[in-house]
């Protein structure tokens, strides 16, 4: 795996799968009969860190937690686990180097049908190519 962005996502997957009490899926791979709660990697977006430096990328990873518990408690618990696992951490990558990860956004919201709760987490990571 020579792409640091892919390596970062793989490192996130490994770290979160080990730390969370729920299943971690990539976008599009959620099983029909997935057991709640679960976490999905929705979008991974990489940009050059600035206009001059092509050696660093800022990667933002957008994730969602889905829960069938009718209040925020379970979603917040998973979000807290993600925060504890990734915030201000430096993950080991198979390509490139992770300078720092920061959880920059955490939110929870009820589903439109009122049956589910979902939570959104955004992690910003700086990587050296």
Distance CA(54)–CA(36), nearest Å, equals: 40
Q: Which is nearer to another protein, 56 or 122 (CB)?
A: 122
Q: Which is nearer to another protein, 1 or 43 (CB)?
A: 43
Least separation in angstroms between CB 74 and another protein: 14
Rule CB under 8 A: is residue 23 a binding residue for another protein? no
Q: Residue 125's beta-bridge partner residues?
A: 59, 101
Q: What is the DSSP string of 40-60?
A: EEEEEEEEESSSS-SSEEEEE
Among 32, 35, 52, 88, indicate the residue that binds another protein (CB under 8 A).
Answer: 32
Place of tokens 């957008």: 62
x-marked contacts with another protein along 46-85 as a string, rule CB under 8 A: -x------------x-x-x-x-------------------
Residue 3: which residues within 8 A CB-CB, separation 6 or more?
A: 95
Residue 50: which residues within 8 A CB-CB, separation 6 or more?
A: 56
Site residues (vs another protein, CB under 8 A): 27-28, 30, 32, 40-43, 45, 47, 60, 62, 64, 66, 105, 109, 111-113, 116, 118, 120, 122
């Amino acid at each position: 795996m020579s792409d640091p962005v892919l390596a970062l996502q793989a490192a996130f997957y490994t770290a979160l799968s080990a730390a969370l009490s729920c299943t971690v899926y990539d976008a599009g791979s959620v099983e029909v009969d997935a057991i709640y709660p679960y976490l999905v990697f929705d979008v991974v977006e990489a940009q050059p860190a600035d206009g001059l430096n092509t050696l660093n990328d800022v990667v933002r990873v957008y994730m969602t937690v889905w829960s069938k518990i009718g209040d925020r408690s379970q979603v917040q618990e998973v979000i807290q686990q993600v925060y504890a696992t990734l915030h201000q951490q430096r993950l080991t990558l198979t390509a490139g180097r992770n300078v720092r990860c920061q959880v920059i956004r955490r939110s929870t919201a009820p589903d439109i049908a009122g049956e589910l709760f979902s939570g959104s987490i955004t992690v910003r990571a700086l990587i050296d190519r």
